[in-house]
Structure 1
Amino acid sequence: MSSYIIGLTGGIAAGKSELSRRFEALGITVADADLAARDVVAPGSEGLARITAHFGAQILLADGQLDRAALRERIFASAQERQALEAITHPAIRQMLRTTCEQATGPYAMAAIPLLTEAGGRQQYPWLDRVLVVDVPVAVQHARLLQRDGITAELADRMIAAQASREQRLALADDVVVNDGQPEHLQAKVEQLDRLYRELAASPR
């Protein structure tokens, strides 16, 4: 059981997945909010039943899966509908992340939450002991999005602008990893933080 939990966050294309893999290679359980978000709306889940009750059966595909494209259209057309969806899914996602972390067998666990800042930060996640932010300059995010997703510069700008700013994310941080493209620097920083987190987890609180 892990009673010490780190929240991992960062902007789009900052390198959260890469950092997660490196912590996992050191034996640390990383609970992923994106995976949890899929699980809470899986066929047969309470989350999907509540979404269907609110949005109607037309929000389902023929095989009973959530029609994400149709739902996306609904929520982007109405802030009220988006808030209704978040009220259904966010508490379930938070609980799933917390349960996964607390059941982990390592010295500490990590919850990867891309939209931690946008989702209310520590107020909504009071069980996080520390917050680790993966930080990159906006220009690097922009370049990575163009290369990774093959999108236009304009769309990359909109995707970055839709998230919290670097300053807002860094205001939440206890620890920061600058992921500017130097793998050896990244690994050294991960190992340094792993030692710190193990020490903190073993300390009486």
Structure 2
Amino acid sequence: MANLIVGVTGGIGSGKSAVMRAFEELGIVAEDADVMARVVVKPGKPALKAIAAHFGPEAISPDGSLNRPALRQLIFSDADAKQWLENLLHPLINQELEERLAAATSPYALLVSPLLFETGQNRLVDRVLVVDVPEAVQLERASQRDGGDTEQIRRIIASQMNRQERLDRADEVLDNSGDLSAMLEQVERLHQQYLEMSRR
């Protein structure tokens, strides 16, 4: 098991995935909450059956997998539906993350999650690294990546913890508003710092 667990969080479009890949290149195990969110709703899993029973057949794609776009529409316009889904999935995701982090073999490991604080996943980590960019950069990057629905991206930003609150709760901040080499430089520095901490 890793001696230190670092939670990595940041708003949509902040570049958490790129930062995660940079740490992985250095040999660090990283578990992604978004990936776990897919694992727990795979066909045959109890959570998928519960979602189908609650939201009806439109929540399931013809191939039997979760119809994410349909579900996203359902929950973004209905706070109760969103709450129900979170109550179902978050404990399952957290359990999956805990098991995988316990099996991590690198000196420290990362738990990467856009909703680290909102889901209580911060209780699973020793440090919090916030990947930070200004909101204008979030909008630009997320709309390039997701095909340009800026209204939906604004809604997602609004549904996440606000930037200042996230920064206030960070142990470390990686400013990702620059280019790739600036990001990699910060990752290398943090890597050395976390290695040092994991030896203590």
TM-score (structure 1 length as normaliser):
0.87
Residues 38-81 of structure 1, C-alpha deviation per residue, up to 9 Å, x if partnerless? 11000011221222333345532333212223323332342222
The equivalent of 1:160 in structure 2 is 157
Asked if 2 retains the 8 angstrom alpha-carbon contact of 1:94 and 1:125, the reply is: no
Letter in 1 for 2:113: I
Question: Which residue in 1 is equivalent to 2:62?
Answer: 62
Aligned CA RMSD, in angstroms, stands at 2.1
Is the contact between residue 102 and residue 109 of structure 1 (CA under 8 Å) also seen in structure 2?
Answer: no
Matched, 1:172 2:169: yes
CA shift, 1:146, in A, is: 4.2
Q: Are 1:135 and 2:114 counterparts?
A: no
* 2:97 matched residue in structure 1: 97
- For residue 123 of structure 2, what is the amino acid of its counterpart? P
Q: 1:200 aligns with which of 191, 197, 200?
A: 197
Residue equivalent to 1:126: 123
Aligned residues: 200
Work out the CA distance in 2 between the residues paired with 1:142 and 1:36.
25
Contact 2:48–2:66 under 8 Å retained in 1: yes
Contact 2:122 2:128 in 1 (8 A): no
Measured against aligned partners, the alpha-carbon deviations of 1:107-158 in whole angstroms (never above 9, x if no partner) come to 01101001223334xxx53121000000112222233234434426555544
- Secondary structure of 2:76's counterpart equals helix
Q: Distance in 2 between matches of 1:12 and 1:164?
A: 11
| 8 A contact 1:117–1:172 mirrored in 2 | no
* Corresponding residue SS for 1:7: strand
Q: 1:183 aligns with which of 153, 166, 180?
A: 180
CA deviations on 1:63-105 (whole Å, 9 max, x unpaired) are 3212223323332342222111111101111111121111111
Distance 1:128 1:185, change over 3 A: same
Q: Answer yes or no: is 1:36 the counterpart of 2:33.
A: no
Q: Aligned partners of 1:155 and 1:45: how far apart in 2? A: 29
Q: How high is the TM-score relative to the length of structure 2?
A: 0.89
Query: Counterpart of 2:190 in structure 1: which amino acid?
Result: L
Q: Provide structure 2 residue ranges, at least 5 long, that are not aligned to the other structure.
A: none
Relative distance call for 1:143 and 1:64 in structure 2 (3 A) is closer
Partner of 2:75: 75
* Structure 1 unmatched ranges of 5 or more: none
Worse-superposed segment, 194-203 or 157-166: 157-166
Q: Which residue of 2 aligns with 1:49?
A: 49
